[in-house]
Homo-oligomer: A and B are copies of this chain.
Amino acid sequence: MHAVVIRDGELHWEERADPVPGDTELLVAVQAAGVNGADMIQRLGLYPAPPGSPADIPGLELAGPVVAVGSQVTRFAPGDRVMAVVGGGAQATMSVVDETHALAVPASLPWPEAGGFPEGYSTAFDALFTQGELRLGERVLVTGAAGGVGTAGVQLAAAAGAVVVATVRDQGRRHEVAALGASVVIDPEDVAREGPYDVVLELIGAASLPGVLPHLATGARVVVIGIGSGAKIELNLAHLMGTRARIGASTLRSRSRREKANVAAAVAAHALPLLATGRITVPICATFPLAEAGAAYERFSGGAKLGKVVLVA
């Protein structure tokens, strides 16, 4: 196979031996693989792949047909169209996926959308519903709503009957985020005006969260998923006591195989039906050939985008 390889902070396109699926794994011929913020950090050497994933091949999500299966696989067979979050190694022409982490791709969904679905939607679903316990009619703030997790979070929260307030820095992207289901799309400076918030999906980090914390509703749940602008904030415990709010934070990548299987099962039960019927979508900002990952990463980091940058075979 060929793979995107990180060496000394640079991306290369190199030939590698095909991966061999383990007993519970699927071998997938990757047709599309989304680009994520974690890839940028991994390229800098700051976010090593977890044990069991290729150390130098980036990529946290993929889609493609199954081409071989391990001896204990029961749920999928060669030819099935699958997509999945993986610990790494997605940005290659072949990759392996534990069958409990794989999702069936809806029949009508093109490969780029399938390759850009798993990471953003799994992260947003887990943050909003499992961690944040979002309920019908609650008011949700999604900070940095134009990216992959943000566009997924806006759509999932709106589909679940929440009132969605979204912050988007780039004015040119606001009408598109509104079209995804956000009731109000605002500049990050204006979060005070639209609060108080029951649930906050924080995708920006230290540059955003301190401005949000004074505007929480009683019993609010904050879930921090993105810290691209920094990780350290000052927290005033007295304010938190007054609102009985709680602040949580989460990543998918460090979780155990069992925990990732639980996330995939929840996404299959609650998000896939919406994807299959078109109630939620995967906005694609741009696609690039796998062999041109450098250009794709540049586009990803460039800002002023809506939705996913996806590498395609």
State whether A248 and B244 are in contact (beta carbons under 8 Å apart), knowing that A234-B234, A237-B233 are contacts in the complex. Answer: yes
Could you pull out 27 A-B pairs where Cβ atoms are within 8 angstroms?
A131-B244, A131-B246, A205-B237, A206-B237, A209-B237, A227-B237, A227-B238, A227-B241, A231-B236, A231-B237, A231-B238, A231-B239, A232-B234, A232-B236, A232-B237, A233-B234, A233-B237, A234-B235, A235-B235, A240-B247, A241-B249, A241-B251, A242-B254, A244-B248, A245-B249, A246-B247, A246-B249
Which residues A254-289 have CB closer than 8 A to chain B? 254
Verify if A171 is at the interface (C-beta below 8 Å from B).
no
Whether A235 contacts B236 by the Cβ 8 Å rule is: no
Copies in the complex: 2
Question: Which residues of the partner chain B approach A227 to less than 8 Å between Cβ atoms?
Answer: 237-238, 241
Whether A240 contacts B244 by the Cβ 8 Å rule is: no
Binding site for B on A (CB under 8 A): 131, 205-206, 209, 224-225, 227, 231-242, 244-251, 254
Given contacts A225-B241, A233-B237, A245-B249, 9 further A-B contacts (CB under 8 A): A206-B237, A224-B240, A227-B237, A231-B238, A240-B249, A241-B249, A241-B250, A242-B254, A245-B248
Whether B240 contacts A248 by the Cβ 8 Å rule is: yes
Question: Which residues of the partner chain B approach A242 to less than 8 Å between Cβ atoms?
Answer: 251, 254
Question: Which residues of the partner chain B approach A205 to less than 8 Å between Cβ atoms?
Answer: 237
| Most B C-beta atoms less than 10 A away, residue of A209, A227, A240, A248 | A248
Question: Which residues of the partner chain B approach A233 to less than 8 Å between Cβ atoms?
Answer: 234-235, 237
Question: Which residues of the partner chain B approach A231 to less than 8 Å between Cβ atoms?
Answer: 236-239
Q: Which residue of B lies closest to A246 (CB)?
A: B248
Cα(A99)–Cα(B230), bound, Å: 49
Cα(A225)–Cα(B224), bound, Å: 22
Q: Which residue of B lies closest to A132 (CB)?
A: B246
Question: Which residues of the partner chain B approach A131 to less than 8 Å between Cβ atoms?
Answer: 244, 246
Whether A224 contacts B249 by the Cβ 8 Å rule is: no
State whether A232 and B232 are in contact (beta carbons under 8 Å apart), knowing that A227-B241, A250-B244 are contacts in the complex. Answer: no
Whether A235 contacts B248 by the Cβ 8 Å rule is: no
Cα(A14)–Cα(B5), bound, Å: 80
